[in-house]
Chain A
Amino acid sequence: MERSTPKDLLSIKYTIEIAEQIRADFVIKNGINVPKNIEDIISHLLGNKEIYNLVSDSIRDDAPNSILDGKIIKHDYHPKISELYNLINNGQDSIEKLRNQYRKETGIETLKISNNNVLGLFIDITSRHAEKILDEKFIHRQTTANSIRYTTMELQELESKMVNAKLLVVSLEREIYSKICKNISDNRQTLLALANALSILDVYCNFAYIADEYDYSIPELSDDMRFEIIEGRHPVVEHALKKVSDNFVHNDCNLSMDERIWLLTGPNMSGKSTYLRQNAIIAILAHIGSYVPAKKASIGVIDKIFSRIGSGDDLNKGQSTFMLEMLETSSILAQSSHKSLIILDEVGRGTSTYDGVAIAWSVLEHIHDKIRARCLFATHYHELTSMEEILPALVNYTVSIKENNGDILFLHKIIKGCADRSYGVHVAKLAGLPKTVIKRASELLKKLEKDSNHSNKKIMKSESYNMNLFDQNNASEINDKLSDAISKIDPNTLTPKEALDALYKLKEL
C-alpha cells in the first residue's frame, strides 16, 4: 500500500464502484435472494463505501503517477492546499497589483515588474525616469545601459512566498497522501476480500461463459470407480479445428470396473493420442469445478492422474529415452492407487519388439491385478491384443478406418476390436514419400507378411514390426543364433571398445 501511486488509489475507488454495480446486477437479475454459496462470495462486494468516499473526496481525478510533483490532492479537501495553490496561481495577480500601485506612486507609466534568473523578481524602469524614484523603499539592484532595476521588501516577500508555496504544497500533499494511504492500508483486509471476490466471480463467470460458448456440460462426480464419458472432445484440438471450420470427432470412453483397462491399437496419426489426452483433460476440468467438453460425464473422484508418452523427442536429458521411459513407468507403478487414472501412450517403444512387448505386457498385468486403476493404454504391438482373453477387465479398442482401393481414411472414431495391421505404409504415403519408395515398401510388406507365414528366418530377423512374438519357431531360431554368438565372446579378453562393438553386433542379429 505504501508503494501505491495516486493512480492506484483511483483504481481502488473505481473497483469499489464496479463491485457495487455488480451487486446491483445480482439484485436486478435474481432479486434479493441468491443461493447461500453465491451469497458467500458476493457479500464481500459491499462495505467499502468509506474508502470510496475518502478517495473520491481527496484524490484528483487527473492525479499523476508520481507523488513528487504535487497535483494529487483536491483543493477543497484541505484548506491549506487551496490557500497555497491560490498563492501560486494568484502570484501573477499580486505582481500586477503591485506594479499598478508603484506606477501610481512614482508616476512612471512604463514601470514594469520582470523576472530573471539572476535577480528573481525586479522592478524595471528606463534610465530617464531615474530621478522619479524618491521613496527609500525602492532598493537599487542593477543599472544597465538603458534601464535601472530595483526591488522592494514587498516584492521580495511575494517572491519568497511563491517559491515556498510550491515547495510547501508538494510536501503537504505528500503528507496528506501518505495519511490516506495509511487509512486504506488499515482497511486492506476488506479490500483484499473484495478483490478476491471479484476474481472468484470472474473465474465462475468464465466457467459459465465457456460452457455456454463451447457447449460443455456439467460433470457428475461420485465416490466410486466410474469413468463414463459420452461424446467427449479434446477442448484444445477442437478449439484449433474450429478456426479451420472442421468438426472434431467426439468419442465415448467407459472404464467400468469390468472394463477398466482399454487397450487401444491403431495406426499412427489416427488420433489415438488426442483421444487418450482428452479423457484426462475432461477429468481434470471436472475436478476444478468446470463444465466439460462432452455430452455427459460421470467420474468417480480421481486422486492422481498419470499420463506418459513413450519415446518422446523432447527428452534429450542425457539419459537414454528407454531408460527414462522405464524410470517414469516405475514411478507410476509405485505412486498410483486404485483411484488413479493412468494413461500410457506407446510405452516400451524405445526398445526392441521383444523387450517392448514383454515390458508392456507385464506393466498391464500389474495395473490390472495389483493397482486395479482405470487405465487407457495405446500401443502398436498387436501382440498385446491377445491379453483380452487373459485379463478379464481388459478390453481391446481401436480406431476405425475406411479402406478404399488401397487408400485409407482415418475416421477418428474409437470402436471395440483391434486393428488388424498397422497401416504404416499408408501413413508414409499420406506423408508424401516418393511414389517409388511407397511402391517398393508395399511390395516388401506383402513379401514379409507372406514370408512370415512361411517362417522365413532371414527376413524375420530384420523386420521387427509385424512379427509374431509367439511364433516359437522364429524365436528359438534367433535364440540359437544369439547363444551361438554369445558363447564365442570371451569378456576377459575384450577392451571396452570391443565389448561395445560386440554388443552392437548382437543387436544386429
Chain B
Amino acid sequence: MQIDQFKAKYNYSGATTVMKQYLDIKFANIDCLLLFRMGDFYELFHEDAITASRVLGIALTARGKGTNDEIPMCGVPHHALENYLNKLLEEGFKVAICNQTETPEEAKKRGGYKAVVNRLVTRIITPGTIIEESLLESREPNYLVSISMGTKEASISSVDLSTSQFSVIALPIGEIVNEIARLSPKEILLSEKYKMSDFASLIVSNLNMRISFQVDSFYAKNKCEKNILEFYKISSLSSIGELNTDQISAIGSIIEYISLTQKENSPKLPKPKILNYNKFMSIDASTRRNLEITTSQSGGIKGSLFDTIDSSVTKAGSRLLYNYLSAPLIEIDAINRRLSITKFFHENIELVSLIRSSLKKQET
C-alpha cells in the first residue's frame, strides 16, 4: 500500500496527535502486528486489534467509542506481555514492540503540556529471534537460518540468539533438506526466487516448517559483504576465514535480518564458525524421525532418545547436548577426544556430583 492510500484509509488527517504517531509507526512496520505502549498497556488498533483479539482471546473494544471515528482496539498489560507474545509467535506472526522512549514528565519538559511522548519500535520479535528465556523451548536450540543458493552448492547460516551461536555450512543442494531437519530451525529465510523449488516444498510439506521468503536482493553478494564488514567493524572478510560467495550471502543476509528486527539493540555475535559438512554423520530426515532421535513419533521431545539421555542440569547444557546428538562426528580422533573426556568424568563420578550440584544452583 502507498502512503497516501494508507493515510486516506485510516483517516490520518482527522486523527489525534497520538494516533498520527501510531499510524506513522504502523506504516513503517506494515508486515508486523504493532504493539503500541500507552501507559501500562500495549495497545493494538485497527486490523491488528481484530486479529490479536481473536488469537489471544481478549476483548475487542474501541477508541472513541460511540463517536463517528471509532477505532477497533485491544490491549495487554505490559507486565503480562511475554505470555501473550508466546501465542502470537506460535501462530507465526511478526510482532513489533513500540515503546515509550521518554517519561511523560520528560515529554512535558520538552514540548509543553500537550506533548506526546516519543515512541520507537525497539524490536521486532519473530520466532527465530527470541531471546526471552520464558518464550524459549527450554531444552532445544532456537535457530534462525538463512539458505543461500549457488549453482551446485548451497550455504546455510544459522544463529541461536539465545546462546550466541553462529555458524555457516556449505553443502550440496541435495543435502539442504537433511541439514534443515538436523537444525530444526524456528525460522527459515530464503530468496523468493526459490519459492517453487523442490527443496522448499519438501521443507514445507515433509518437515512441516514455515519459510519466510525474502526479496532476492537480500542475498546480493556486495550488499551482504558490506553488512558483514559493518557488523563486525572489520576491513576484510578474510578475518573471518575463507568464504565463498554463497557463504557470504548466507552470513550477510542473516545479519541484515537480525539488524532489521533487533534495531538499536542488535546483539554482538561472535564471528560465524565455518563448519565442514564432511565432518558430521549424515542422517536424513526420515531416519531422524524413524529413530526418534530428538522428536518422538507423537511429535514432542518426550519419549525421544534426547529426552531419555538428557539429564543435564542447565538449559544451556541441554541445548548443547541436543546439538551434539543432532550432529554425530565421523572423525575418529574427534570422537575419541570426546570419549576420553567422558571417561575422565565417569571415573570421577564424585566430582560429577559436585559439579552438577554447583550447576544446579545457577539454574535456580
Question: Which A positions have Cβ atoms within 8 angstroms of B?
Answer: 1-3, 11, 14-15, 18, 21-22, 25-26, 28-30, 34-35, 37-38, 41, 68, 167, 185, 188-189, 192, 195, 198-213, 218-219, 221-223, 235-236, 239-240, 277, 280-281, 284-291, 301-309, 314, 317, 328, 331, 335
Q: Knowing A200-B320, A317-B206 are in contact, say whether A305-B346 is a contact too (CB < 8 A).
A: no
Q: Knowing A202-B314, A206-B312, A308-B290 are in contact, say whether A219-B339 is a contact too (CB < 8 A).
A: yes
Which B residues touch A3, using CB under 8 A?
131, 265, 267
Q: How far is the CA of A218 from the CA of B344 in the complex (A)?
A: 11
Q: How far is the CA of A331 from the CA of B309 in the complex (A)?
A: 30
Q: Knowing A219-B339, A287-B281, A301-B330 are in contact, say whether A328-B286 is a contact too (CB < 8 A).
A: yes
Which A residues touch B305, using CB under 8 A?
235-236, 281, 284
Task: Decide yes or no whether B205 CB sits under 8 A from chain A.
Answer: yes
Q: Are B359 and A201 in contact (CB under 8 A)?
A: yes
Q: How far is the CA of A284 from the CA of B330 in the complex (A)?
A: 10
Distance from A221 Cβ to chain B, minimum over Cβ atoms (Å): 5
Which A residues touch B355, using CB under 8 A?
22, 25, 201, 205
Q: Are A303 and B286 in contact (CB under 8 A)?
A: no
Which B residues touch A303, using CB under 8 A?
281-282, 330
Q: Are A288 and B338 in contact (CB under 8 A)?
A: yes
Q: Are B341 and A284 in contact (CB under 8 A)?
A: no
A21, A22, A203, A235: the one contacting B320 at CB < 8 Å is A203
Looking at B11-19, B252-260, B321-329, the stretch in contact with chain A turns out to be B321-329
Which B residues touch A328, using CB under 8 A?
286
For the residues of B in contact with A, the DSSP-based class is: helix
Distance from B107 Cβ to chain A, minimum over Cβ atoms (Å): 13
Q: Are A291 and B344 in contact (CB under 8 A)?
A: no
Which B residues touch A307, using CB under 8 A?
286-287, 290-291
Which A residues touch B163, using CB under 8 A?
195, 199
Which A residues touch B209, using CB under 8 A?
none
Task: Decide yes or no whether B352 CB sits under 8 A from chain A.
Answer: yes
B103, B332, B344: the one contacting A38 at CB < 8 Å is B344
Distance from A230 Cβ to chain B, minimum over Cβ atoms (Å): 18
How many B residues face the partner with a CB closer than 8 A? Answer: 70
Q: How far is the CA of A21 from the CA of B331 in the complex (A)?
A: 34
Question: Which B positions have Cβ atoms within 8 angstroms of A?
Answer: 103, 105, 131, 163-164, 205-206, 264-265, 267-268, 270, 281-284, 286-287, 290-293, 297, 303-305, 307-314, 316-317, 319-321, 324-325, 328-332, 335-346, 348-352, 354-356, 358-359, 361-362
Q: Are B332 and A222 in contact (CB under 8 A)?
A: yes
For the residues of A in contact with B, the DSSP-based class is: helix
Q: Are A306 and B287 in contact (CB under 8 A)?
A: yes
Which B residues touch A188, using CB under 8 A?
268
Q: Knowing A198-B316, A221-B332, A288-B325 are in contact, say whether A277-B291 is a contact too (CB < 8 A).
A: yes
Which B residues touch A208, using CB under 8 A?
342, 345-346, 348-349, 352
Which B residues touch A223, using CB under 8 A?
332
Q: Are A25 and B311 in contact (CB under 8 A)?
A: no
Q: Are B343 and A288 in contact (CB under 8 A)?
A: no
Which A residues touch B303, using CB under 8 A?
236, 240
Q: Are A284 and B351 in contact (CB under 8 A)?
A: no
A–B complex contacts, Cβ < 8 Å, 21 sampled: A14-B362, A22-B355, A25-B351, A28-B354, A30-B351, A68-B103, A199-B316, A202-B313, A202-B314, A208-B346, A218-B346, A236-B307, A288-B329, A289-B329, A289-B342, A302-B281, A303-B281, A303-B282, A304-B281, A304-B283, A335-B282
Q: How far is the CA of A167 from the CA of B102 in the complex (A)?
A: 12
A2, A198, A284: the one contacting B293 at CB < 8 Å is A284
Which B residues touch A200, using CB under 8 A?
320
A167, A198, A204, A302: the one contacting B314 at CB < 8 Å is A198
Given A198-B362, A308-B287, 19 more A-B residue pairs with CB atoms under 8 Å apart are: A3-B131, A38-B344, A41-B341, A188-B268, A189-B270, A192-B164, A192-B270, A199-B319, A199-B320, A205-B356, A206-B311, A223-B332, A235-B305, A277-B292, A287-B329, A288-B324, A289-B339, A304-B283, A305-B283
Closest to A284 in B: B328
Closest to B347 in A: A208
Which A residues touch B105, using CB under 8 A?
167
Q: Are B320 and A202 in contact (CB under 8 A)?
A: yes
Q: Are A288 and B328 in contact (CB under 8 A)?
A: yes
A11, A211, A219, A235: the one contacting B308 at CB < 8 Å is A235
Q: Knowing A15-B362, A202-B316, A281-B291 are in contact, say whether A209-B352 is a contact too (CB < 8 A).
A: yes
